[in-house]
Structure formats: C-alpha cells, structure tokens
Amino acid sequence: MTLEPAPADTRTAPWWADAVIYQVYPRSFADADGDGMGDLPGITARLDHLARLGVDALWLSPFYLSPQHDAGYDVADYRQVDPRFGTLADFDALREKADALGIRTIVDLVPNHTSSEHVWFQQALASAPGSPERDRYLFRDGRGPDGAEPPNNWTSVFGGPGWTRVPDGQWYLHLFDVTQPDLNWHNREVVAEFDDVLRFWLDRGVAGFRVDVAHGLVKHPDLPDWDGHTAMVEGTTRADGADPIEEHVPAPMFDQDGVHEIYRHWNEVLAEYDGDRMMVAEAWVEPAPRLAKYVRPDEMQQAFNFEFLIEGWDAAGMARAVENVMSANEAVGAPTTWVLSNHDVVRHASRFGLADPTHRPPGIGPDDEQPDAGVGLRRARAATLAMLALPGSAYLYQGEELGLPEATQLPAEVRQDPTFVRSGGAELGRDGCRVPLPWQAGAPAYGFSPTGASWLPQPAAFADHAVDVQEGVPGSTLELYRQLTALRRQLRLGTGTMAWADVHAPDEGVLAFTTEGVLVVLNASGRSFELPAGAELLLASVPDAVDGGALAPDTAVWLRLP
Ligand code: GLC
C-alpha cells in the first residue's frame, strides 16, 4: 500500500509540513544565573547546539509567570515572563537569535486552565456565586444535603477529586491540580482574552503555538457523572472495561465537538499574520480519525500523533500506528507528525529497555524494574532513525539527542510533579524525564548551571552523556542525530510519500518502508535479518548494525535502493 500524506510538494508546502521541531523544557535546558532552574538567557547562550543539531524550530514549554505548581503549566499571567526564567527582553533576544540561526520559535499556550493565582481566579473567589467573575470558570453548586457533595464524580487527571469547594459552598472544576481551575470556554471574555494572548505572541514574532490539553476546553454541557479515569501517562480507562477505540464515545470532559469551533476561530487569527504560523494540538484523542478532525484545513496545522509513541518498541504496533494516522490525516489533507518522547512520558531510551518494551509506566522509581540502558538506547536510536524518515514533521525532546535515560533513582523527597502527591505516590510522575541536561562531564551540574545547583539531582550516568563527551565522536548518539537531520534534509525525507517495502514483515518484527528512493528497515525481531542484496548503506543506527549483509537485532538502517 502507498500512504500519501498531503501536501507532498516541498516547494509549495508550508515550512512545518516536514519540520524537525525540538522541545526545550526551560526549567532543565541551561541555567545562566546559577539558581538551579534553567532560564531564557541559558537557552539563548546554547542555541548553537540546536543549530548544529539541524532542527527547523524549537518549542518552548511554558516560561510565563507562574507559581510552578505544575512546572509552569499553571499560568498566572500569559503575557509576562516568570522572573525565574527572565524577562520579555530575554524572550525577544532568544527569538531573534534563533531566527538569525534559521530556527523558528514556537511557544506553549495553556488555554484549558489558569493558575489559581491568575487575577481572574482571585476575582472569582472574591465574587458571589452567579457573578460574571465566576462565570469565567466552571463553578457549580454541590449535590446532596447542603451541597456538600461535588457536582459530579469526575477525578483529576493527576489523581484525587476533580472539584474543590470554596468557603461560600460552591465548587470549581479542575481537571488537573487544585491550583489549575478550568476555564469556561462558553464565556465571551475568555474567548476574547485568548485572541489577545495569541496576538501578543504573534506580534512578538513566534512561529506558532503548541496548544496544551487541546481536547479539554469544552466539557459536555450536562457535566454528567463518568466512571472512568484519565491518567497523565496511561490514558483513559472506562470503569466498565469498554474499549474507547471501539466505541468512539469520548469521556464527557474531553474531545467534545465544541472544541473545533475554537480552533476554527484561531485559524482565522493566525491567518492575519504572514509566514505560515502554526498550531500543534496536544490532544490525547482516540481513534485516529477523531484526532484528524483537529487538523482539518480550517483548524490547526498539526496534532501530536501519540499513537506511534504509545505502541512502543513493537514493529507490528508501529506499523499499525503509521497506517492509522497517515490514512486518517490523508482523509483531511494534513501531513502527520511523529514523536517518541516529551516532558510527560518516560524517555524512550528507557521505555524500550524494559522487559516489556511496549510498557509505559507512569514514572520509574528505585523500587521498580530498572530498564536495561544499553538495550534501551540501542532500540531508541533505531526507532528515531525510522521516525526521521517517515513523511511528515518530527518532534524531538531535549536530551534524546544525547541518548539520555530516564532518571530512575529519584528519591520521593525531591519529586515535584503534582501527580506524585495527588496520587498518594501511586504514580511516580514525570520528574524522571525532566532532569537538567548534561553539557560538560567535568563541570558542576555537568555544565547545566555555573554554581552546580540543579532543581532535580542529575544521575551520575549523565556524565557519560554530556555534550562535550559526544562532540565529534563517531558513533555517539549526538553525532548520529546530527547526521540524521542533515541527511534527512539532503534526501528530502519527511516530504513525499511512503510505501511498505517488499521485506516489510511487521508480524515477524521487521518494519520496512520506502520513501524518496530510500529503503528504511528496522529490526525489532530479536534475530538478525537478511537485507536485500545490492543496496547501499546510507546510515545505520549503530556502527555495527550491518554485518555480512544482515541487520543486527535492535537496529535500523537507511539504504539507497539499487
Ligand atoms: C499537558 C502538559 C502537562 C501538564 C498538563 C496540564 O498535558 O503537557 O505537562 O501537566 O497538560 O497543563
């Protein structure tokens, strides 16, 4: 079968259609002022790293004014930079230097909820039930005698109840932390405010937005009880055991049809600007055709394709995800995206080193099964090689270019993810993938900060992954990533179409496709695999991947077709 994403022609396609986009997590990228928390000047000082990596754009996780109860995804002011991260002038300097290096800047937009310290929520608390101030959020009376029971049985994604009661007896909804009250998107002030926030950043030259919890803004109007639970990294489970993919009935707090009206409107706002500005939806939505609705021509430009990430190290699962997502996107004429790691999931270099490499634990701690770091990294490099050849745009998460593993030995007392506390420790949370980057093996905090301070402790193993250890070393993960992006550009991978190759055998653990005259083979079979004769080796995931015409287990190659 041939899978044809659209548009196929790079001469007319917008920049984002095949872009490689690098996620910068500002808390953990580079710390210029030495307080142990990364900052915008730190990022600016290290932009050369991104330029040498050959990425087209960077996406900055939130750096806005925030009490940091959810690492900045709790925004108190959408137009201010948090002093921990710098100033607006620092943002402008970052964006300008990135532009000069040919790297576009995408910022995070958090429209589902504000921080409880946002002036609107403070006004809501100070105002009476039924007031216009309360109407910007989802305040409701409780059930039962004296309204002492929450308005419905929804739970927070981070664990615990989804409603919190205020002193006058009303309750407010928070799908996430208690400090993240959900906004009411039926309120016209909310709509107008976010139009203005979009324009504020578009005027400052951003190339686009990553839209947080894009599937959550509109809730079912009746706020009906729902017996399932949505967990941060495990997805939605229904209490009755029904399969959400088969039944296509979204949970009442997610993927309601009303969200699309918002994105159609934002599409018009972006269209007022030049330069193909874009939005990418973070929407944990199943199945693929429902996700594709977010990237219809008059809505967002991209949506993260988490199905590929969720399948893990499994050729049949990866092949299924490729087919599902590409055919769903083809139906709406949108190119797809690919991603294997981000700040919410266990790093793929560690997930793939678990006994079950399709497992996605909600964090890994000292008492859990420890991933095999060598096997995990070998597979991660192979999966990345395949990902970067697929048609569409690809997202990289900071540190994966260093082959960084998850930090799996963090003690409970340093954990900061609200998931850990709200789930009573049942979910360890996401701190393990958020540990500050190692730049120099011999420097304090491995070069992350000048003082040696680091908001999460860095594992000793990070020394082996430091940038200066890998720089210029043939076969290092860093050099592999640099080769991948350079060759991808040269061969125009990411554009055009793909087709499964003759040797594609997903049920036997071999994923193989052709694209732009290149044959890509990934071997997850556990055995060596005989490659077609006569093909020229372009790039291998590890130096010894090909031996006597056979592809070693847990590796992948790009070959030139004879
Ligand atoms: C998104 C973010 C995650 C955050 C949550 C609530 O899923 O990626 O980090 O905790 O939204 O804003």
Ligand 1 atom nearest residue 176's Cα: 6
Cis status, amide bond into 62, omega within 30 of 0: no
In tens digits, the chain (562 residues) has pLDDT values of 455 554 445 457 999 999 999 999 999 999 999 999 999 999 999 999 999 999 999 999 999 999 999 999 999 999 999 999 999 999 999 999 999 999 999 999 999 999 999 999 999 999 999 999 999 999 999 999 999 999 999 999 998 999 999 999 999 999 999 999 999 999 999 999 999 999 999 999 999 999 999 999 999 999 999 998 777 655 555 555 555 444 567 899 999 999 999 999 999 999 999 999 999 999 999 899 999 999 999 999 999 999 999 999 999 999 999 999 999 999 999 999 999 999 999 999 999 999 999 999 999 999 999 999 999 999 999 999 999 999 999 999 999 999 999 999 999 999 999 999 988 998 999 999 999 999 999 999 999 999 999 999 999 999 999 999 999 999 999 999 999 999 999 999 999 899 999 999 999 999 999 999 999 999 999 999 999 999 999 999 999 999 999 999 999 999 998 7
Name the closest-CA residue to atom 12, ligand 1.
73
Answer CATH for 2-113+188-481 from 3.40.50.720, 3.40.50.2300, 3.20.20.80, 3.40.980.10: 3.20.20.80
Q: Tokens 């049920």 label which residue?
A: 507
pLDDT at 11: 55
pLDDT at 237: 55
Residues 501, 392: Cα–Cα separation, whole Å = 18
Query: Could you tell me which of 344, 288, 274 has the C-alpha nearest to residue 321?
Result: 288
Between the CA of 212 and the centroid of ligand 1 the distance, in Å, is: 6
Name the closest-CA residue to atom 2, ligand 1.
212
Residues 280, 313: Cα–Cα separation, whole Å = 25
Residues 562, 554: Cα–Cα separation, whole Å = 24
Residues 134, 322: Cα–Cα separation, whole Å = 44
Residues 147, 135: Cα–Cα separation, whole Å = 19
Name the closest-CA residue to atom 9, ligand 1.
344
Best residue among 25, 110, 176 to mutate for probing ligand 1's pocket (most ligand atoms within 8 Å of CB) is 176
Ligand 1 atom nearest residue 158's Cα: 10
406 is catalytic: no
pLDDT at 338: 98
CA–CA distances in Å: residue 511 to residues 39, 338, 485, 545: 40, 16, 21, 15
Best residue among 110, 209, 212, 285 to mutate for probing ligand 1's pocket (most ligand atoms within 8 Å of CB) is 212
For the domain 497-560, what is the CATH code? 2.60.40.1180
Q: Does the C-beta of 417 come closer than 6 Å to ligand 1?
A: no
Query: Could you tell me which of 221, 240, 51 has the C-alpha nearest to residue 152?
Result: 221
Q: Does the C-beta of 344 come closer than 6 Å to ligand 1?
A: yes
pLDDT at 8: 46
203 is catalytic: no
pTM listed for this prediction:
0.96
Say which of 177, 212, 299, 311 is annotated catalytic. Answer: 212
Residues 6+ apart with CB under 8 A from 100: none
- Reading phi first (left if > 0) and then psi (alpha if -120 to 50, else beta), residue 275 is in left
pLDDT at 108: 98
pLDDT at 228: 86
Q: Which helix (H) or strand (E) holds 302?
A: strand 302-303
pLDDT at 7: 47
Residue 501 DSSP SS3: coil
Residue 533 DSSP SS3: coil
Residue 295 DSSP SS3: helix
- The secondary structure of 96-132, three-state, reads HHHHHCCCEEEEEECCCECCCCCHHHHHHHHCCCCCC
Q: Which helix (H) or strand (E) holds 518?
A: strand 518-523
Residues 292, 326: Cα–Cα separation, whole Å = 9
User: Cα 235–3–290 angle (5° rounding)?
Assistant: 35
pLDDT at 131: 98
What DSSP character marks residue 55? -
Exposure string over 395-431, b if 16+ CB within 10 A, otherwise e: bbbbbbbbbbbbbbebeeeebbbbbbbbbeeebbbbb
Between the CA of 127 and the centroid of ligand 1 the distance, in Å, is: 28
Q: Does the C-beta of 299 come closer than 6 Å to ligand 1?
A: no
Domain ranges of the chain: 2-113+188-481, 119-173, 497-560
Ligand 1 atom nearest residue 74's Cα: 12
Say which of 272, 298, 356, 368 is annotated catalytic. Answer: 272
Class of 119-173 in CATH? alpha beta
Do the first three CATH levels of 2-113+188-481 and 119-173 match, i.e. the same topology? no
Q: How far is CA 235 from the centre of its chain?
A: 14
Cis status, amide bond into 7, omega within 30 of 0: yes
- The secondary structure of 131-199, three-state, reads CCCHHHECEECCECHHHCECCCCCECCCCCECEEECCCCCEEECCCCCCCCEECCCCHHHHHHHHHHHH
Q: Does the C-beta of 177 come closer than 6 Å to ligand 1?
A: no
Residues 136/183, Cβ–Cβ less than 8 Å: yes
Which two tokens mark 449?
Answer: 């900060």
Between the CA of 70 and the centroid of ligand 1 the distance, in Å, is: 8
Q: Does the C-beta of 73 come closer than 6 Å to ligand 1?
A: yes
